[in-house]
Structure 1
Amino acid sequence: MTDCSARSETEFCGIALLDFLRLRLTSADAQRLPVLFSNGYISVDNEVVSADYTLNGGSRICVYLPGHQEEEVDTHWRILWQNSELLAVYKPHLLPVSRTTRNLYNTLISLVRRQTPYADARLLHRLDTETAGVILLAKNAMADRRWKPRLDQLMRKKIYHAWVEGIPCWQSKLMECDLSEKAGSVIRSQVYVVDAIDRFVKPRNSKTAFRVLQTVAGRTLIECRLYTGRKHQIRAQLSYLGHPVVGDKIYGHQGHFYLKRIEQGLDDSDYQALGSRYHQLQAVELTLDIEGLPVEIALPVQN
């Protein structure tokens, strides 16, 4: 049984709870609302309510969905910056940005839609489930239509930090190459630096500037500035350079732990070999161009 919780803001005072929930549940679960109400599965501030309930501002709403199970994830996202149309938030490691086969409600976009007034929020770009950091959303469909076609002009600078295995022989490096999936690869989602002797699918140019920030116990913290936004760009390039991201199941250890996770799952000794339960990659800074004015959004520096 899943607890699908939300909090109503003051602007929802006087709104029918039924209307509030229809916007925040999947279509299948929205159709179950009469049954959920009749069985006492919907409460407001810990009190069971009926289908004709009207919201007061600041209430905590809980919907219990019998028979529905979600994978446990870190749901502690937070708002970093916003204006009238856009919302920049922090996504934790292991929180999927959108629905998966295991999670419908414990995803970033579902949490934002339930826990803010922006029930129609849209993702403007994506981060891998295991990648943490700054991600940009549109508050509604109109803002999404306005900004998504202009995303390259809107997002002027993207900086990531990656902990990698080993110590590079360089302090800085600009890497520009073609990336592509490889025909016949055992790991379908994996991308490779294009090699003329192999058969690749639709190579795409990629460009990243790498800079060493610090080294600790045989590992290195690298700043990665993206000039293009290709699938798995940073992870694939760093692996090609001989320094896979710590905890990377696809690009480290020849993909052994990715395949093992699919076939039989991973145990504590596997995570110890990987060095982390998730890959150590984080989007730390995003600079926007809002009508010609730069807006820098950065994660707080951790001591």
Structure 2
Amino acid sequence: MDHAGSAGAGAGRHLLNAEAPGRLDACIAAAVPGLSRARVQRLIEGGHVLLNGEVARKSARVEAGDRIELTLPETGHDAAEPGFDLPVLYEDDALAVIDKPAGLAVHGAPGDTAPSVAGWWLARLGPAATAFDAEHPGIVHRLDKETSGVLLLAKTPAAQAALSRAFELRRVHKCYLAMVEGQPRPPHAVVEAPIHRDPRDRTRMAVTARGRPSRTEYRVVAGDGGRSLLEVFPETGRTHQIRVHLASIGHPVVGDPVYGRAGEGRRHLLHAWRLELPHPTGGTLRASAPPPADLLEAIRAIAGEAVASRYAAPPAVTCERGQPS
């Protein structure tokens, strides 16, 4: 396909001439470096693609000689600094580890201009951001908006692919801290229940027979009868998995307005405490971040200062280099 326009997937107008029949989205993705097919489909849906002068349909096909006009809107690649900073626990040529605060979305919804980790990361990468799809710039995994803790960000597409693969192969070991209602019995168990979007409420997830296999291990650390502190080890990575699984056994996360009870002035008390995984260039990366003040206060209330101090230890990241995985 002939391509007239700026190199790569930078913002602006791209004029393309189809050389052979095929799907419109596939032709564009093949012609413009850095554009994933998923992003092309979103651009088509948003009216940013003209086929022979008319707004294209997502299912459109092209014939040899068809003229395609693609307009890439200004995105986070060219955004100004977002006006805030995030704590970087570790950084090298392949990735960064940050401590995400509660209340900040990893990736905003389409059209959402609120601050996000993705927007901050694009601004921080500067010109290097053009190597990424603007929709998912180095995002390897996600934390819910109100969940705090350790989050990985890739600095190159190759690192993003390698890290994503590690998650897919379940080579990433995660430990969360969760304050839950009640006292789970037994104190150490695995919740294995399929998760799918709730058919009665599309904003929620639910345990349902038609869901994807999902597995979460938990261990009770301390409790006072009314609440318990858990260490939680999700083996799969479904949306809202920990919150859904704990609610399904009758012990929702404290302060969870979706799957439990909303607390006054509180967020749900869930924190990504520890992460261990193979580094893209070899060896093992281990990272941990202390829980924020609200969760530490809740831990002290039911478990005492000694337990709270153990989790309040300063952030720690080690990277033991070896041979590439």
Q: Is the 8 A contact 1:159 1:224 kept in 2?
A: yes
Q: Is the 8 A contact 1:79 1:88 kept in 2?
A: yes
The within-5 A match list for 1:223-234 is 223-234=231-242
Instruction: Please state how far the C-alpha of 1:83 moved relative to its aligned partner.
Output: 2.3
Structure 1 residue aligned with 2:257 = 249
Q: Which of 191, 215, 231 is the matching residue for 1:207?
A: 215
From the superposition, tell whether residues 124 and 92 of structure 1 become closer, same or farther in structure 2 (CA, over 3 Å): same
Secondary structure of 2:105's partner?
Answer: coil
Q: Which of 105, 111, 118 is the matching residue for 1:109?
A: 118
From the superposition, tell whether residues 118 and 125 of structure 1 become closer, same or farther in structure 2 (CA, over 3 Å): farther
For the pair 1:295 / 2:285, whether they are aligned, the reply is yes
Deviation per CA, 1:114-138, whole angstroms, max 9, x where unpaired? 2455752511111111111111111
Q: Which of 170, 183, 205 is the matching residue for 1:191?
A: 205
Q: What amino acid does structure 2 have at the position aligned with 1:277?
A: R
Q: What amino acid does structure 1 have at the position aligned with 2:266?
A: R
Secondary structure of 1:148's partner?
Answer: helix
Instruction: Please state how far the C-alpha of 1:178 moved relative to its aligned partner.
Output: 1.3
Structure 2 residue aligned with 1:48 = none
Q: Is the 8 A contact 2:166 2:277 kept in 1?
A: no
Q: What amino acid does structure 1 have at the position aligned with 2:120?
A: L
Q: What amino acid does structure 2 have at the position aligned with 1:252?
A: G
Q: Is the 8 A contact 1:76 1:92 kept in 2?
A: no
Secondary structure of 2:168's partner?
Answer: helix
Secondary structure of 2:236's partner?
Answer: coil
Secondary structure of 1:237's partner?
Answer: helix
Q: Is the 8 A contact 1:161 1:222 kept in 2?
A: yes
For the pair 1:94 / 2:103, whether they are aligned, the reply is yes
Q: What amino acid does structure 2 have at the position aligned with 1:192?
A: A
Q: Is the 8 A contact 2:182 2:227 kept in 1?
A: yes
Q: Is the 8 A contact 1:246 1:275 kept in 2?
A: no
Structure 1 residue aligned with 2:247 = 239
Structure 1 residue aligned with 2:38 = none
Instruction: Please state how far the C-alpha of 1:250 moved relative to its aligned partner.
Output: 1.0
From the superposition, tell whether residues 107 and 182 of structure 1 become closer, same or farther in structure 2 (CA, over 3 Å): closer
Q: Which runs of 5 or more structure 2 residues have no equivalent in the other structure?
A: 1-11, 13-72, 130-136, 291-310, 314-325
Deviation per CA, 1:174-216, whole angstroms, max 9, x where unpaired? 1112112233x1x212222225xxxxxx411111110011224
Secondary structure of 1:127's partner?
Answer: coil
Identity, in percent, stands at 30
Q: RMSD between aligned alpha carbons?
A: 3.2
Structure 2 residue aligned with 1:85 = 94
Structure 1 residue aligned with 2:155 = 139
C-alpha distance in structure 2 between counterparts of 1:169 and 1:151, whole Å: 29
C-alpha distance in structure 2 between counterparts of 1:107 and 1:119, whole Å: 18
Q: Which runs of 5 or more structure 1 residues have no equivalent in the other structure?
A: 1-21, 34-60, 65-74, 196-201, 254-272
Instruction: Please state how far the C-alpha of 1:149 moved relative to its aligned partner.
Output: 3.6
Q: Is the 8 A contact 2:76 2:123 kept in 1?
A: no
Secondary structure of 2:176's partner?
Answer: strand
Instruction: Please state how far the C-alpha of 1:284 moved relative to its aligned partner.
Output: 0.7
* More displaced stretch, 134-143 vs 231-240: 134-143
Q: Is the 8 A contact 1:153 1:289 kept in 2?
A: no
Deviation per CA, 1:155-185, whole angstroms, max 9, x where unpaired? 52011111111122321111112112233x1
Q: Which of 272, 278, 293 is the matching residue for 1:283?
A: 272
Q: TM-score, normalised by structure 2?
A: 0.58
Pick 1 or 2: higher relative contact order, CA cutoff 8 A, min separation 6: 1
C-alpha distance in structure 2 between counterparts of 1:143 and 1:118, whole Å: 17
C-alpha distance in structure 1 between counterparts of 2:249 and 2:76, whole Å: 47
